[in-house]
Structure 1
Amino acid sequence: MSRTRIDPVLRALPAWLVPLAMLAVTEFAMRASGIESDGLARPSEVATALLGLIGNGEIVLRTAETIGAVTIGVAVGGTLGLLLGVWMGLSPTAARLASLTVELVRPIPPVAIIPLMMLIYGLGIKMEAAIIAFACFWPMLLLSRDAVLGVEPQLIEVSRMLGLPRRQQITKIALPAALPRIFAALRLTLGIALIVAVTTEIAANPIGIGYAIISAGLSLRPEVMYAFLFWLAILGWLLNTGLVAMHQHLFGAAYGEAPR
Structure 2
Amino acid sequence: MSDVARSRPLTWRRLPARGRKDLALKIAGVAVTLVLAEAVTRGGLLPSRWFPPAGEIYVEFGKLAGGRPLWVEIGRTLSGWAAGLALGTALAVPAGMVLGSSRTAYRLARVAIEFCRPVPPVALIPLAVLVYGTGLQTKIFLVAFAVFWPLLFQTVYGVQDVDPVAKDTARAYGLGTLARFRTVVLPSATPYIATGLRISSSIALILAVTEELVVGTPGLGRAIIVAQSAGDPTRMYALIIVTGLLGWALNAAFQSAERRVLRWHPAQRLEEAR
TM-score by length of 2: 0.85
Distance 2:81 2:43 in 1: 42
Distance 1:123 1:88 in 2: 34
Contact 2:84 2:141 in 1 (8 A): yes
Out of 78, 94, 100, the residue aligned to residue 83 of structure 1 is 94
Distance 1:70 1:12 in 2: 29
Contact 2:262 2:268 in 1 (8 A): no
1:214: how far off?
Answer: 2.0
Could you report, residue by residue, the CA deviation over 1:18-58 in whole angstroms, capped at 9, with x for unpaired residues? 12222123323433449652211222211221122223322
The residue identity in structure 2 corresponding to 1:138 is: W
Distance 2:203 2:41 in 1: 34
Aligned to 1:177: 188
Which stretch has the larger CA shift, 157-166 or 218-227?
218-227
Could you report, residue by residue, the CA deviation over 1:79-115 in whole angstroms, capped at 9, with x for unpaired residues? 1011100110111121111111111111111011111
Aligned to 2:11: none
Distance 1:183 1:63 in 2: 24
Out of 229, 244, 250, the residue aligned to residue 239 of structure 1 is 250
1:254: how far off?
Answer: 9.3
Q: Which has the higher contact order (CA 8 A, sep 6+)?
A: 1
The residue identity in structure 2 corresponding to 1:132 is: V
The residue identity in structure 2 corresponding to 1:201 is: E
1:212 and 2:223 are equivalent in the alignment: yes
For 1:53-132, what aligned pairs fall within 5 Å after superposition? 53-132=64-143
Out of 134, 140, 151, the residue aligned to residue 162 of structure 2 is 151
For structure 1, the residue ranges without an aligned partner over 5 or more in a row are 1-6
Out of 21, 25, 30, the residue aligned to residue 36 of structure 2 is 25
1:10: how far off?
Answer: 6.9
Cα 1:111–1:35 change in 2 (3 A) is: closer
For structure 2, the residue ranges without an aligned partner over 5 or more in a row are 1-17
1:75: how far off?
Answer: 0.7
Out of 14, 20, 27, the residue aligned to residue 25 of structure 2 is 14
Distance 1:13 1:141 in 2: 38
The residue identity in structure 2 corresponding to 1:76 is: L
The DSSP-based 3-state class of the residue aligned with 2:134 is coil
Count of aligned pairs between the two proteins: 253
Out of 24, 45, 48, the residue aligned to residue 59 of structure 2 is 48
Cα 1:100–1:218 change in 2 (3 A) is: same
TM-score by length of 1: 0.90
Distance 2:234 2:147 in 1: 32
Contact 2:80 2:140 in 1 (8 A): yes
The DSSP-based 3-state class of the residue aligned with 1:15 is helix
1:209: how far off?
Answer: 1.0
Out of 235, 239, 261, the residue aligned to residue 250 of structure 1 is 261
Superposition RMSD in Å: 2.2
The DSSP-based 3-state class of the residue aligned with 1:14 is helix
The residue identity in structure 1 corresponding to 2:184 is: I
